[in-house]
């Protein structure tokens, strides 16, 4: 019965069990049916890590699954509802828990990220307009950010969630800026300091809530996904407190159509369990509510399709360099990381539920009118 029900659900999304198309599932262990019935898409991902099923193209499988609403059809299960209740009741991104994602994700190993990312080590979506490779896409994105905030030599910029110092070094090197970057990852701090040596850049192991000084501009690229909806208002209050009256605040974040948390995106729960603990994607409404009375929204730029290209490039780098990483990380890690990167690619390709936003904010009463830049 479990097998037939799952087979029926997959068929409605255009996926067959043991079919010969790239997105079809090859079942290697019958336990996959029970784990999906009990734990939904969390169980599906765990079954893949365990080697219970295979697929030639995970990205194509997820594109088919999400466009066919497979996530909606398996959302009511113990794991999904338990995750929803946990996120609804508790503040999982409180100040006392802020460093968890740093320890469990960003501190995995700088060797992994150096081999997977571009030469500047940018771990956010690239901007692929007019370019054809990852290095150029990431440089184009960093330059776009600098132009959007009208960055000038000598200005002081706060980078909330600075990663390995990619924006900080670029802004200092190309625009003559002075940058302070904060991150919750010890490994990122160590490498970022080395990569930014010789430039007017300061890298701190610090939660965003503890920053209390003035900056000409603020940027935050791919960090807001770790803030959590219970803290959105406080996050914007911190940005307001730290931004000079005539400055720009640029926020780049993944986003989703509906308010989170909810039971409509069970595919995200596997990512939260294994990849980004306590992660949470905002909606348009949640961002607007949090910014209310603090900022004026000057520009909202979407380019979610570029994340598909970016993550496919990351997977290609990861896969090609796996022989250098295999001894340290092991076979199960490879399957988990492959599933993470390629399932995300399929989600971006499916469109409609997820997107990538760059939003420019100013304080109310700013004299200079903003000119939209692409």
| Same domain membership, residue 295 and residue 150 | yes
Residue-level pLDDT at 5: 87
Q: Is residue 315 part of a domain?
A: no
Residue-level pLDDT at 251: 98
| Same domain membership, residue 119 and residue 42 | no
| Same domain membership, residue 262 and residue 133 | yes
| Same domain membership, residue 142 and residue 261 | yes
Residue 255, C-beta contacts closer than 8 angstroms, at least 6 positions apart: 281, 282, 283, 284, 287, 354, 355, 356, 357
Q: Is residue 80 part of a domain?
A: no
| Same domain membership, residue 61 and residue 117 | no
Domain boundary among 23, 39, 74: 74
Residue-level pLDDT at 41: 86
Q: Is residue 337 part of a domain?
A: no
Q: Is residue 155 part of a domain?
A: yes
The parts of the chain modelled with pLDDT lower than 70 are 1, 71-82, 84, 260-267, 367
What is the Cα–Cα distance from 333 to 329, expressed in whole angstroms?
A: 6
Q: Is residue 17 part of a domain?
A: yes
| Same domain membership, residue 197 and residue 164 | yes
Residue-level pLDDT at 276: 96
| Same domain membership, residue 168 and residue 48 | no
Q: Is residue 87 part of a domain?
A: no
pLDDT tens by residue, 88-136:
777 878 888 999 999 999 999 999 999 999 999 999 999 999 999 999 9
Which CATH number does the domain housing residue 282 bear? Answer: 3.40.50.150
What is the span of the domain harbouring residue 8? 2-74
Does pTM top 0.85 for this prediction? yes
In this structure, are residues 144 and 127 in contact, taking their beta carbons and an 8 Å threshold? yes
Instruction: Note every long-range contact of 76-80, with CB atoms under 8 Å and residues 24 or more positions apart, other chains counting.
Output: 76/40, 76/263, 77/37, 77/38, 77/39, 77/40, 77/43, 77/266, 78/38, 78/39, 79/38, 79/39, 79/40, 79/42, 79/43, 79/269, 80/39, 80/40, 80/41, 80/42, 80/263, 80/266, 80/269
What is the Cα–Cα distance from 293 to 203, expressed in whole angstroms?
A: 31
294 burial level (CB within 10 Å; 0-12, 13-18, 19+): middle
| Same domain membership, residue 277 and residue 134 | yes
Q: Is residue 8 part of a domain?
A: yes
In this structure, are residues 192 and 165 in contact, taking their beta carbons and an 8 Å threshold? yes
Specify the number of domains making up the chain.
Answer: 2
Residue length, the chain? Answer: 374
In this structure, are residues 310 and 341 in contact, taking their beta carbons and an 8 Å threshold? no
pLDDT tens by residue, 256-289:
988 866 655 666 789 999 999 999 999 999 999 9
| Same domain membership, residue 238 and residue 144 | yes
| Same domain membership, residue 233 and residue 121 | yes
| Same domain membership, residue 129 and residue 66 | no
| Same domain membership, residue 163 and residue 245 | yes
Residue-level pLDDT at 264: 55
Q: Is residue 331 part of a domain?
A: no
């Amino acid at each position: 019965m479990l097998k037939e029900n799952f087979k029926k659900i997959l068929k409605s999304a255009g996926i067959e069990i043991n079919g010969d198309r790239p997105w079809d599932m090859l079942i290697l262990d019958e336990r996959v049916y029970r784990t999906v019935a009990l734990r939904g898409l969390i169980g599906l991902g765990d079954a893949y890590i365990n080697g219970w099923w295979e697929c030639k193209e995970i990205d194509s499988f997820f594109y088919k699954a999400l466009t066919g609403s497979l996530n909606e059809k398996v959302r009511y299960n113990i794991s999904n509802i338990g995750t929803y209740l946990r996120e609804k009741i508790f503040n999982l991104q409180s100040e006392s828990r802020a460093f968890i994602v740093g320890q469990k994700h960003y501190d995995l190993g700088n060797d992994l990220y150096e081999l997977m990312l571009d030469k500047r080590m940018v771990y956010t979506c690239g901007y692929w307009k007019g370019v054809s490779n990852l290095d150029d896409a990431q440089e184009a994105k960093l330059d776009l950010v600098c132009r959007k905030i009208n960055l000038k030599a000598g200005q002081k910029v706060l980078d909330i969630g600075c990663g390995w110092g990619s924006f900080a070094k670029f802004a200092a090197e190309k625009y003559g800026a002075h940058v302070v970057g904060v991150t919750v990852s010890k490994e990122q701090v160590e490498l970022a300091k080395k990569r930014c040596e010789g430039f007017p850049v300061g890298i701190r192991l610090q939660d965003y809530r503890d920053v209390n000084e003035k900056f000409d501009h603020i940027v935050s690229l791919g960090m807001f996904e770790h803030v959590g909806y219970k803290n959105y208002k406080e996050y914007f209050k911190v940005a307001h407190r730290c931004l000079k009256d005539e400055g720009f605040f640029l926020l780049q974040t993944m986003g989703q159509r509906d308010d989170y948390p909810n039971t409509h995106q069970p595919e995200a729960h596997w990512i939260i369990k294994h990849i980004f603990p306590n992660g949470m994607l905002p909606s348009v409404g949640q961002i607007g509510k949090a910014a209310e009375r603090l900022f004026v929204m000057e520009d909202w730029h979407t380019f979610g399709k570029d994340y598909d290209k970016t993550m496919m490039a990351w997977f290609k780098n990861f896969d090609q360099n796996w022989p250098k990483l295999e001894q340290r990380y092991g076979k199960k890690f490879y399957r988990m990381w492959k599933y993470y990167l390629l399932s995300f690619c399929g989600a971006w390709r499916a469109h409609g539920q997820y997107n990538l936003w760059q939003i420019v904010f100013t304080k109310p009463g700013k004299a200079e009118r903003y000119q939209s830049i692409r």
